[in-house]
Homo-oligomer: A and B are copies of this chain.
């Protein structure tokens, strides 16, 4: 029953989302025996102006 929530800075292509979903699901099956039919992957793409690091927004770097 795994839920993978991925937050990334900026956007991903559909091909990247597809491949990350495939791999994360496979990792959970191979490493922890979690059946793919129970694995959810939710991807959140965060704008540069909404993510800070070292006290600054990425949109200011």
Taking Cβ atoms with an 8 Å cutoff, the residues of A that contact B are: 1-9, 12, 14, 16-28, 31-32, 34, 36-37, 39-46, 49-60
Contact = CB atoms under 8 A, between A and B. Distances in A.
Copies in the complex: 6
Contacts of A5: 4-7
A51 B23 CA distance: 14
A6 B5 CA distance: 6
Given A27-B27, A32-B16, A46-B42, A1 B6 contact: no
B14 A20 contact: no
Given A20-B31, A23-B31, A54-B39, A49 B4 contact: no
Contact of A59 (B14, B26, B42, B52): B14
